[in-house]
Amino acid sequence: MKKIVFITMYTFERSEKGMKFFMLNLKNEKGAITLFVLVSCLFFILSVTCVQMYMQSKKVAVDREYRQIKSNYETNLADTEYLDKTYYQLSQLENLNINIEKTTHTNNQLIVEFSLSDVTNLNAQTVKYGWGTSSSIDTVATWNYLEADSIKNKMIAINNNASADNTNYHLFVVLDNKEIYTPIVVS
């Protein structure tokens, strides 16, 4: 013969007549266990949902950081290509020289026809020339800008402040921030 064991709960209640002893049988409590299981399941589902949301937000943050690193890397590659191109152009500027073709000195004006050597593959953005009072580029008072396409042809530099007493002049030509200097002696 099997014994059936019931879970019982004892409670005490005080009243005017004294203490009464009640025996509660959980078998008679309809829905209490169901409610307890339901609340436990909801707590478990809520916990799992919070963990899932945390993992998803962490994944989104990692993906965003990965895209940022990839973008920075691609930008650095573009900068590297730009730097290589700039270095190539600057290395071409290293071999440039000013070739004086003709010098004309009248009253207060000095006209110099000149060309630049090794400019066949050079693509200069800015070209300017100026007259200095010494071999330092800081002595140039004003700059005259030329068209960038003109570097492949003969160019003319005019100094309107040339005096008849002075025979030493300093011509500075600047191509893309690369200065080329030549002294000019007028006899």
State the pLDDT confidence band at 8, using cuts at 50, 70 and 90: very low
Average predicted confidence (pLDDT) for the chain: 76
The contacts of residue 49 (CB under 8 Å, 6+ apart) are none
**pLDDT grade for 87, boundaries at 50, 70 and 90:** confident
Asked whether residue 23 is assigned to any structural domain, the reply reads: no
- On whether residue 158 sits in a domain, the answer given is yes
Q: What is the pLDDT of residue 98?
A: 79
pLDDT in tens, 157-180: 888 877 766 667 788 888 777 777
Is residue 69's pLDDT more than 80?
yes
Q: Tell me, yes or no, whether 149 lies in a domain.
A: yes
CA 165, CA 28: separation in Å to the nearest integer? 127
The pLDDT of residue 17:
54
Residue 75, pLDDT above cutoff 70 = yes
CATH number of domain containing 137? 2.60.40.2060
Q: Taking residues 80-92, report their average pLDDT.
A: 76
Within a domain: 28: no
181 inside domain? yes
Where in the sequence is the domain holding 157, given as residue range(s)?
A: 96-185
Q: Is the pLDDT assigned to residue 41 strictly greater than 90? A: yes
Distance CA 86, CA 62 (A): 36
| Structural domain count, the chain | 1
160 occurs within a structural domain = yes
Residue 58 lies in a domain: no
pLDDT at position 47: 97
Residue 114 covered by a domain: yes
